[in-house]
Structure 1
Amino acid sequence: MVHLSASLLTLNGKSLDHLRLRLNDIELATDKFSETCYIGSGGYGMVYKGELDHFDGMDSLKIEEKNKGEFRKKHSCVAIKRLHNRVDTQGEQGFVSEIETLSNCKHPNIVSLLGFCDEGHELILVYEYVAKGSLDDYLGNMDGMTNLVWAQRLQICLDIAHGLNYLHTHIEGKPMIIHRDIKSANILLDDNWVAKIADFGLSKLQRANQQGTTLITNNIAGTEVYLDPEYKNTGKLKKESDIYSFGVVLFEVLCGRLAYDEIYSGGGLPSIARQCFNEGTLKGMVDPKLMEADEIISLLKGGVNQDSLETFSKIADQCLEETQSRRPTMEVIIKELEKALNFQVSNLFQNVTSLFVK
């Protein structure tokens, strides 16, 4: 049995041995990584679904406890990410980065890391299973996003915003975290449509003594169409880089299409959305499934309230400012998204009530 590094047992002085899982248990849970357990893949590797015993996620942050037996165990359905062969240095870096980041996090809008395995040539990460897949599955999919009315989409955006605000905040025992790859494919949805930020392989941590500083990176990382232009051009990485990426996701949710959809030429969705917003023609880009012509159908499906649309569009546009310093803070974004949701819910209640009064 060969482990990646003994340092993983005491990452930044904190014991993580309670998160280490045996390869035999993982192989048993996935029927040795059979096709019947396979649920998805990406550039990082393959993802499988299985059931196994792991340490309770509610206890996973109590890493000051030294005795492994003091952590409660739990048996549940999990997502098992099997990374490509560990000879890939970048894969190893992402593996360690994900463990380092998520072992510091506990938030309802951040996917929970339940364990890892680094036996032999394997690099495996085990997460809570999030049943409804990723947000991008419901964008541009007539059988997917149809189920999500405007109020639901707003709540999903608020969930992501709360998760980002948590990541960007220094809390005792948790550094500030820049995700670096916020996109709809990295937003997972659970059974209740609660959104959870996932995939922290590219994330960067900023300790309390580094607060207020700018991280300079030589290797620009992220997904092209979601990438902060200032970071891309200068290598200066700040939490505002995540805010730009989030702005792209906001417009994806509004338009019901992925940012790299072939209908968006040139700079993709961000540049076209900003242009339409400034020209006052953004309504033409709104997902037609949200703009029902029939009044009663529109009310029952939660058609978009105009005040809600304008509030949402304005804050999404501000997130896409070219300059990092001009973008809003997560606190402001949350406030505006809450306002947009309140407009929508209040208007829907009033209109549905009026149908019965008539």
Structure 2
Amino acid sequence: MLQGETMVLSRFQLSDIELATNNFDATYCIGLDTDIKVYKAGLDDFVNSISSSTEGMNKGELSKKHITVAIKCTINRKGGRGKQAFFEELEMHSHTSYKHPNIVSLIGFCYEVDKMILVYEHASKSSLDDYLKSVDGMKNYTWTQRLHMCLEIARGLNHLHTSPQRIIHGDIKSATILLGMNHEAKIAYYGISKHRTNQEVGMEVYADPEYETTGKLERHSDVYSFGVVLFEIFCGRVAYSPVYMKDNEKGLAPIARMCVNDGSIERIIDPKLIEETDDDILTSNRRPNNDSLNRFLKVACQCLGEAANRATMQMVINELEIALNFHVSQYFLHFLDYFF
């Protein structure tokens, strides 16, 4: 099954996974969909000191380490495509061409009895969703850091869209974006929701309205969802916050577009981005300058627009890089004025 250049994948024992999750106890569950359950737990992994050959055969000595992982369990319902989806995802992740620093990596798998399990890395402090829901979660993120975060997510998603199989994630939202120990952003568990159900409360706010009409996921559906995440990072709140839901059942996206169009964007910007500090140089780094802000808002709105007019993820990356360059350039000039 695994042909060409492959990565080392561990084959975990079902007994070890059951022990780690207390027999798949609900307290370990961090996500679910119609045919998927995801658990967070600690597992012992045997890491090869020498990479495998193209046939996937292990060489060299093995060392053992304890790691935190996300355990994705596929439910093989009668008449469903659970088994096929499991092997498709396993094969897809096994090829080195799918590896990317802004996408969560597959570590291993388990296929025993009726259990089909994929084990992903979970080297993160929390999800972006957790940060956005916390009172102080985003307060220390400057405009520069937020733009870097947006770019990391965009690069990961673009990698999926431009891969040989042109993968559609289908479930982009702040809850599927993990922030690592150094605050790096990684897209988690792509393939978890190829057929979106959005049964979780509030998750419909990320759904492309055209998907709701056609029932067909496209790459531009991911672009819409990413546009919602852009505005979440800008506003410092989840898109399904009661602050937005009381005004519009679709949450943040339509409100953000309205505020951009009528020039009232200050209504929703994260106050932490515009509050004054005692030090001008720090303030200039935190606050978005007009050129950078306008470029960001333009591309974020383009992501939320009509499907035919949405940018590709590469175009989004280009615009975000320009927004970042505008801000860094002005910050540098501010820095020179401050010290000289």
Shifted more, 42-51 versus 148-157: the winner is: 42-51
- Answering whether residue 103 of structure 2 is matched by residue 114 of structure 1, we say no
- Answering whether residue 163 of structure 2 is matched by residue 183 of structure 1, we say no
Q: Amino acid of the residue matched to residue 237 of structure 1?
A: L
- Answering whether residue 55 of structure 2 is matched by residue 66 of structure 1, we say yes
Residue in 2 that maps onto 1:163: 156
- Answering whether residue 272 of structure 2 is matched by residue 283 of structure 1, we say no
Q: Amino acid of the residue matched to residue 176 of structure 2?
A: N
- Answering whether residue 180 of structure 2 is matched by residue 196 of structure 1, we say no
Residue in 1 that maps onto 2:334: 351
Match of 1:296 among 262, 276, 279: 279
Structure 2: runs of 5+ lacking an equivalent: none
- Whether the 8 Å contact between 2:24 and 2:39 is mirrored in structure 1 is no
Post-superposition offset of 1:246:
0.5
Structure 1: runs of 5+ lacking an equivalent: 1-9, 205-218
Change (3 A) 1:58 1:16: closer
**Superposition pairs of residues 1-20 of structure 1, within 5 angstroms:** 10=1, 18-20=9-11
- Whether the 8 Å contact between 1:78 and 1:126 is mirrored in structure 2 is no
- Answering whether residue 207 of structure 2 is matched by residue 227 of structure 1, we say yes
Residue in 2 that maps onto 1:319: 303
Post-superposition offset of 1:281:
1.0
Counterpart-to-counterpart distance in 2, 1:253 and 1:107: 22
Counterpart-to-counterpart distance in 2, 1:139 and 1:58: 40
Residue in 2 that maps onto 1:211: none
RMSD, aligned α-carbons = 3.2
Change (3 A) 1:270 1:101: farther
Task: Name the TM-score, length of structure 1 as normaliser.
Answer: 0.79
Post-superposition offset of 1:224:
1.4
- Whether the 8 Å contact between 1:179 and 1:203 is mirrored in structure 2 is yes
Change (3 A) 1:287 1:72: farther
Counterpart-to-counterpart distance in 2, 1:13 and 1:65: 6
Counterpart-to-counterpart distance in 2, 1:236 and 1:12: 30
Q: Amino acid of the residue matched to residue 90 of structure 2?
A: I
Residue in 2 that maps onto 1:42: 31
Residue in 2 that maps onto 1:214: none
- Whether the 8 Å contact between 1:51 and 1:75 is mirrored in structure 2 is no
Counterpart-to-counterpart distance in 2, 1:340 and 1:75: 44
Shifted more, 248-257 versus 112-121: the winner is: 112-121
Post-superposition offset of 1:124:
2.9
Q: Amino acid of the residue matched to residue 234 of structure 1?
A: T
Counterpart-to-counterpart distance in 2, 1:249 and 1:55: 35
Q: How many residues align?
A: 324
Match of 1:253 among 233, 236, 240: 233
Change (3 A) 1:242 1:101: farther
Post-superposition offset of 1:142:
2.1
Change (3 A) 1:17 1:251: closer
- Answering whether residue 120 of structure 2 is matched by residue 130 of structure 1, we say no
Change (3 A) 1:164 1:15: closer
Match of 2:311 among 325, 328, 337: 328
Percent of paired sites with the same residue? 45
Deviations 1:46-66 (A, max 9, x none): 52332422456995xx7x722
Post-superposition offset of 1:270:
0.8
Q: Amino acid of the residue matched to residue 258 of structure 1?
A: V
Counterpart-to-counterpart distance in 2, 1:262 and 1:92: 39
Counterpart-to-counterpart distance in 2, 1:71 and 1:96: 27
Counterpart-to-counterpart distance in 2, 1:280 and 1:57: 57
Counterpart-to-counterpart distance in 2, 1:169 and 1:57: 31
Counterpart-to-counterpart distance in 1, 2:267 and 2:56: 59
Counterpart-to-counterpart distance in 2, 1:337 and 1:15: 33
Post-superposition offset of 1:191:
1.3
Q: Amino acid of the residue matched to residue 145 of structure 1?
A: M
